[in-house]
Amino acid sequence: EAQVTQNPRYLITVTGKKLTVTCSQNMNHEYMSWYRQDPGLGLRQIYYSMNVEVTDKGDVPEGYKVSRKEKRNFPLILESPSPNQTSLYFCASSLGTGMNTEAFFGQGTRLTVV
Amino acid sequence: GQQVMQIPQYQHVQEGEDFTTYCNSSTTLSNIQWYKQRPGGHPVFLIQLVKSGEVKKQKRLTFQFGEAKKNSSLHITATQTTDVGTYFCLERGSNYKLTFGKGTLLTVNP
């Protein structure tokens, strides 16, 4: 089954404790990206990757890191989480960056930083 | 991606009433996609519009792309409780960034 898998689905952590949210897709997609979703602000892009070893900042990259060492995986790293990073996070992938490509989203990760 | 404004932010309707959400841009959009997110779920692709003036239908859903490619709309005829969710538009810019509208939350009273 074609899917994007995020882990964990829920996470409560403390300020400053490094964490990684994993994202994996089994569709051989080139383009992957991370979003955070906050009430009233919609979905905002954090980072994106056009292919292996190629990443770039989205609209809200501060406090986040990503890596793309393999095509299927695109982890999101919070080196020192802060309470303002409490949010619902989505990973998404698409076949390419062309116009005629739909985005497939993971199930989401609800992160709480206390 | 470009700035895409989506209205309204919320819409509550009685079952059977129609619903419309709009996305507007001050600049020309290369294309626009629409997604639906059910409560507690993740966004799911509905459709893509590329051509000026394009109209596409999916059962009770009608999608339009403006003649100037600066606006788009999603219209649902005779809403049902299964239509509940947040509807987003997405502009895929040529610079690889993706810009979502803030979404319209639709609630339906049975």
Per-residue model confidence (pLDDT) at position B2: 53
Q: Does residue B104 sit at the A interface (CB-CB below 8 Å)?
A: no
Residues of chain A with pLDDT under 70: 97-100
What is the model's pLDDT at position B23?
96
Please say whether the beta carbons of A76 and A47 come within 8 A.
yes
Q: How far apart are the first and last CA of chain B?
A: 38
Provide the shortest C-alpha distance from residue B14 to chain A (in Å): 23
What pLDDT is attached to residue B1?
A: 46
H/E stretch holding B75 reads strand B71-76
Q: Mean pLDDT, 10 residues at a time, over chain B (110 residues)? A: 83 98 92 95 95 97 96 98 97 76 95
Tokens coding B45: 């692709």
Site of tokens 């403390």: A14
Residue A39 distance to chain B (closest CA, Å): 9
* Burial of residue B29, with CB atoms counted within 10 A of its CB: 0-12 exposed, 13-18 middle, 19 or more buried: buried
Q: With contact defined as beta carbons under 8 Å apart, do B18 and B75 qualify?
A: yes
CA angle (A28, A106, A85) in 5-degree steps: 125
pLDDT at site A40: 86
